[in-house]
Amino acid sequence: MAATAVVFDWYATLAAPNVDDFWTRLPEIVTAAGGVPDAAALAEWEGAHPVEHRDHSTSEASYRAWQRSRLAQLFERCGIAEPRRSAVLDEIEAVRYSRVFGVFPDVVPAIAALRARGVTVGLCSNWDWDLDRHLRHNGLDGLLDFVVCSAPLGYRKPHPAIFDEVVRRAGAGPDEVVFVGDSWHDDVAGARRAGLSPVHIVRSGSCAVDRHDDVACLTTLDDIWRLDL
């Protein structure tokens, strides 16, 4: 069945990574605050984020408080004492909810071309409550037919509920939805388990094949037409 909708992940798929962002500098931040980076704690903070968090997604304030508490626990495990711990959390929050990410240069042309062909275009991201601000900054808010964001939804990829919401918003059957993302675990495996057609995008250019593990692989959205949508 031909695809009627294409849904993109946000970070590292559409959004270009920012090397100065706080999560890439956590060991440096911990050390500067007088702590000692705890590899296990850092890995747990990044990799063990609950995929279901509805109780914390009842409001933006509740969600932000939860994210702050997760970082506070990380910093405590890394030995950052008060009052410095709270000061560092304040500094991070000031950046976290004001920063903006740019998009790769192929993003707007690819989305515009898909829409011109009558394809429904959506976005699904594990992101903070402020995703709409990043989309407005890049002029994407008027180009996307729908946006599914984990923060207000209460589920993160690869939870099946977030893909169910994608399919519902796309107004199509799962087998009619192509899902493009950079994370094999969250995007590719999650979408495939939900019955969507996954596409792995490897922006580093290190994917030298058109397919791997029976999944289409792209290095740029300029090549999205190879999917024969």
Q: What gap in Å lies between CA 166 and CA 92, rounded to an integer?
A: 31
**How long, in residues, is the chain?**
229
Q: Domain-by-domain residue ranges, the chain?
A: 5-17+101-227, 22-96
Answering whether pTM is above 0.85, one says yes
Name the CATH topology of 5-17+101-227: Rossmann fold (3.40.50)
* Confidence at residue 164, expressed as pLDDT on a 0 to 100 scale: 98
**148-191 confidence digits (pLDDT tens):** 999 999 999 999 999 999 999 999 999 999 999 999 999 999 99
Collect all residues with Cβ–Cβ distance below 8 Å to 155 and sequence separation of at least 6: 51, 52, 53, 54, 161, 162, 165
Comparing 42 with 205, the larger pLDDT belongs to 42
